[in-house]
Every structure is written in structure tokens, then in C-alpha cells.
Chain A
Amino acid sequence: MAVAIGVLVAVLLALVFVFNGLVMKRNRCENAFATIDVMLKKRYDLIPNLVETVKGYAKHERELLAQVTELRARAASGALPTDEAVVLNNRITGLLRRLLVVVEAYPELKANGNFLQLQRALNEIEEQIAAARRAFNAAVMDLNNAVQMFPSSLVASMTGFRERHFLATPEEERGAVDVGERLNPSGPAADT
């Protein structure tokens, strides 16, 4: 009898332990996702300034600028489902990259101190977003491992824990960024 109770208590404790572990892993995912959101919001705040600054110099890029502004407005409204928001933000990333490439044609803009400052801030935020995205993926991997691996998979299926999707890296981000070369022409390019 005592042995049976002992075993039961041990099993219960193990269940609680595994369950709490799963909750912790899920919360880490949520937290990491929220961090991405914070970084994206920072970028939303930066975009209008950037657009204004570029507008004054780059007369021929109106269409690109309008597109950035429009996507930013839609993404910042916060009314989108997660999947769409991810796609939208990936498109913004791509457009901002294109913007930084086309400004090459405007030497006065590149000499503008305000623009250089914004460009630095943008690089910083892009790097932060990439880091937050990687942190999220690491948290998802942890959660998914726990959901799929025995014995925590038993607890997960009983309590309704599900796997989560990784955030894919946008296609444009896989290529090398040459912002470094533009900022310090003599220095090495950033190859992040």
C-alpha cells in the first residue's frame, strides 16, 4: 500500500514537473514573440522620419516611399492576424533594403547627417529584430522538442500543448548586407 502511494506521488510530482516545464517553454515563446513586436514597433516609429528625409532628396522614388508608408500604416494598425503581420513585416524589411540601395544614386542624401543617423538607427533595429527572431526560434525549438519527445509528449498531448511554427528568415535577409561598405567605404562590409 505504502509503495503504491509512494509511486503515485512520484508520478504526480513528475507530471507537475513536466507540465510546469512545458508552461515555462510556452511562456518563453510568447515572451520572445512580444520582444519581436517591440522591435517592430520601434521600426514603425523610425519609418516616417526616414521617408521624410529621403523624400526631400530622392524625387524619383516616390512610388517606393509611398509603398513603404502604406505598408507601415497597415502593419502598425495592429489589427492584423499574426501570420499576415509576419508577411507584411517581411515585405517592409525588403522595401527598406531596396530603399537603402536606391539612395546610392543621391550623393547629397548620403552626405546628410540626419540621414546617416537614421541609417544607423535602422541598421541597429534590423539587427535587433534579427536577434529577437532568432531568440523566438530557439524558444520554439525548445517547446517543440518538449512537445514531441517522450515522456513530455504524453503530458503535452493530455494538456493540449501544440507545436509552434518557426519564423522563416525573409529571402532578402539571406544575402549579404553591404550597408557597411556604404558607411565606411574603406572598412570591411558587415556580413551579418
Chain B
Amino acid sequence: MSDDFDAYYDAELRPALESLEERRRQASRTWRTVAGVTLVVVVGALVAAAALSYWIIAAVAVVLGAGCLFGSHAILFHPVIRDAKREMIGALARFVDPSLRYSPKGCITRAQFRRSRLFSHGVDRYRGEDLVQGRIGSTDIRFSEVHAQYKTTHTDGKGHTHTSWHTIFKGLFVIADFNKHFRGVTRVLPDVAERALGWFGQKLQGAFDVFERGELVKLEDPEFEREFVVYADDQVEARYILTPALMRRLLDFKRRAGRDVCFSFAGSSVHIAISTSRDMFEPDASRSFLDRAAMLAHLRDLQFATSVVKELDLNTRIWTKE
């Protein structure tokens, strides 16, 4: 695998990224010059302000200087990072599977997010990026970063209205074609009642509320029952989907993820929500784009997302769904 990657790196990634790395260095040099000049001007202004005891100049200089630093950084680096991201993540995705296509601005749509019925809270703000989609074996898969929020407003005594935003879900959202037909919805959620109350669990509990939960499904695997709680429209269908083997696989997947994961089986697909506060698939402009370690980290993220096909055994198509 690592040899494969080295060969791919030399053949595909390096040639594509070398010119981008040159642009990054150019941007870096320009920015350092801008920063140097800005610093000199600001220090000059501070000295002048001190000499004249005219402190408004100092304040204006500091604000303008900071604005200049951040503004020029964004203007210089943003296009480079954007292009590097498209090249790098796109190429890494093709390395994971040639069928995978990457769209930096695409995401799992709001409708798809809603269809999973994982989060029943109304969504007021929905954002996402880094959509990867393709077909691994017989299984269609797509995933992206998603951030869904709802807002609350309250009016204080002075009549000012305050709006605060609350996260419903932030992290990686994966949708993969499931290998069996089914009609209803089955949800596998972290069991907050049987475990210590994790923050995600609490959030989920709030988000799920009582409505639309469906029937509670009690399954045979005690370890699975400790980690998850299952709600479904149909008891038999839930067990048709959640075979003893799949229960083990979901448990293993959750352990590998090392964080809270919830699954839903709806509309002939499996939806997997893996919460993380990390911004994934973002090249770091302060390091070389050719840095192999950073690239391997992105590669691991991609492989983790696509591993659901293998981990949940979705390519086994021995039932009526082909």
C-alpha cells in the first residue's frame, strides 16, 4: 500500500502539485514582503503617535495594519489553497478508487440529510463542502463534510433581539447504497441511557426528541445494546437489516472511528453520521504542498470514509437487490 502510494505520488501527485507549490512559495514571499512593510509602517506610526501624544493615530495604524495582514493573506493564499485542494484531494480520491470524483464545493444535500431521519430538529443553517462520490464495487457511495445548525432567538429587557446558533451535527456524513431492499426507516443511535452521558449523546437526545422515533427494537447482542439504541418502523425489517453479523460490523466500525457514530437505514441507503469538530480535507498553506505526511493524513480520512463499503460488507450482493 505504501509502495503503491509512493509510485502514485511520484507519477501523479508530485507533477500536479509542483507548480502549485511554486505558487504557494511565491505567495508566501509576497506576503512576507507585505507583512514587513506593514510592520515598518505601523511601528513608524506608533513612534509618531508617541512623539505627538496623538494616540488615535496609533489605534488607527494598528487596526489598519492587522486588516492589511489578514486581507493580504486571504487574497494571496485563497486561490492557491483552493487549486491545491482540488488537485490534491481529487488525486488522492482517485488513488483510493478510480471511480471517485471530488467536488470541493459540493456536499450532501439538505434533502439527503433530512431523508436520513437521523436528526429530527429543524435545520436553519446548512453548510457543507468536500463532496466525494463514486462507486466501489457494486456500491454507490458519497460523502462530504456537513454542518447543520438551528437558531434560537430571545429578546432581552432592553428590547434587543439576540440570535444564537446551535450545532445539530458537524462532521462527516456518508451515504452508501445498502445491499438489501427495505421500505421503512431503521435508526441506530448511540445509547446515552446505558452509557455515561457524552456531549454528543446529549445533543442527539435533544435532537431526536420523542416524536417520530419509531418503535424501540431490542436486539440480542448485549455489547451492541450497550453502545447503541435502535428505533425502527418495523421490528422484522430492523432485524432483517441488523443481522448478528452486521451488528458486530457496526460495533467494530464505531470503535475504529473512535467517536460517536450513528447510522440510519432509509430510502435503500445506509446513512452514517460521524461527528468531528476537525475541518477535514484542507491543505495547510504554512507547509509545503509536497509534504507527504500531510497528504497521508488526507488519504487516511478518505480511506476511512470509503471503508464503510468493506466494513459493512456492502458489496456482498446475494439477495434480490443486485
Q: B239 in the interface, Cβ–Cβ < 8 Å?
A: yes
Choose among B239, B313, B322 the residue that contacts A134 (Cβ–Cβ < 8 A): B239
Give chain A residues whose Cβ lies under 8 Å from the Cβ of B316: 180, 184, 187-190
Q: Are A188 and B320 in contact (CB under 8 A)?
A: no
Q: B28 in the interface, Cβ–Cβ < 8 Å?
A: no
Decide yes or no: A131 and B218 within 8 Å by CB, A120-B320, A180-B318, A187-B315 being known contacts.
no
Choose among A127, A137, A187, A188 the residue that contacts B319 (Cβ–Cβ < 8 A): A127
Complex: how many Å from CA A142 to CA B235? 13
Q: B243 in the interface, Cβ–Cβ < 8 Å?
A: yes
Decide yes or no: A135 and B239 within 8 Å by CB, A191-B245, A192-B244 being known contacts.
yes
Give chain B residues whose Cβ lies under 8 Å from the Cβ of A189: 316
- Who on chain A is nearest to B310 by CB? A188
Q: Which chain B residues numbered 191 to 231 have a C-beta less than 8 Å away from chain A?
A: 217-220
The interface residues of chain B, by DSSP majority, are classed as: loop
Give chain A residues whose Cβ lies under 8 Å from the Cβ of B218: 138, 141-142
CB of A192, distance to nearest CB on chain B (Å): 4
Complex: how many Å from CA A184 to CA B318? 8
Complex: how many Å from CA A17 to CA B218? 22
Give chain A residues whose Cβ lies under 8 Å from the Cβ of B217: 138
Interface bits A120-159 vs B (CB < 8 Å: 1, else 0): 1101100110111011011101100000000000000000
Give chain A residues whose Cβ lies under 8 Å from the Cβ of B165: none
Complex: how many Å from CA A55 to CA B101? 48
Give chain B residues whose Cβ lies under 8 Å from the Cβ of A137: 220
Give chain B residues whose Cβ lies under 8 Å from the Cβ of A134: 220, 239
Decide yes or no: A123 and B318 within 8 Å by CB, A191-B245, A192-B243 being known contacts.
yes
CB of B138, distance to nearest CB on chain A (Å): 9
Highest count of chain B CB atoms <10 Å: which of A131, A132, A189: A131
Give chain B residues whose Cβ lies under 8 Å from the Cβ of A123: 318-319
Q: How many residues of B contact A (CB 8 A)?
A: 24
Give chain A residues whose Cβ lies under 8 Å from the Cβ of B240: 127-128, 131
Give chain B residues whose Cβ lies under 8 Å from the Cβ of A53: none
Q: B11 in the interface, Cβ–Cβ < 8 Å?
A: no
Q: Which chain A residues numbered 41 to 85 have a C-beta less than 8 Å away from chain B?
A: none
Choose among A120, A130, A142 the residue that contacts B243 (Cβ–Cβ < 8 A): A130
Complex: how many Å from CA A123 to CA B319? 6
- Who on chain B is nearest to A119 by CB? B318
Q: Which chain A residues numbered 15 to 56 have a C-beta less than 8 Å away from chain B?
A: 32, 35
Q: Closest 5 interchain pairs by CB? A: A131-B239, A131-B240, A192-B243, A124-B319, A135-B235
Q: Which residues of B contact A (CB under 8 A)?
A: 137, 180, 217-220, 235-240, 243-246, 313, 315-320, 322
Can you list 27 A-B pairs, Cβ within 8 angstroms, ordered by A? A120-B319, A121-B320, A123-B318, A127-B240, A127-B243, A128-B236, A130-B239, A131-B237, A131-B238, A131-B239, A131-B243, A132-B239, A135-B239, A137-B220, A138-B235, A141-B218, A179-B318, A180-B316, A183-B317, A184-B315, A187-B315, A187-B316, A187-B317, A188-B316, A189-B316, A192-B243, A192-B245
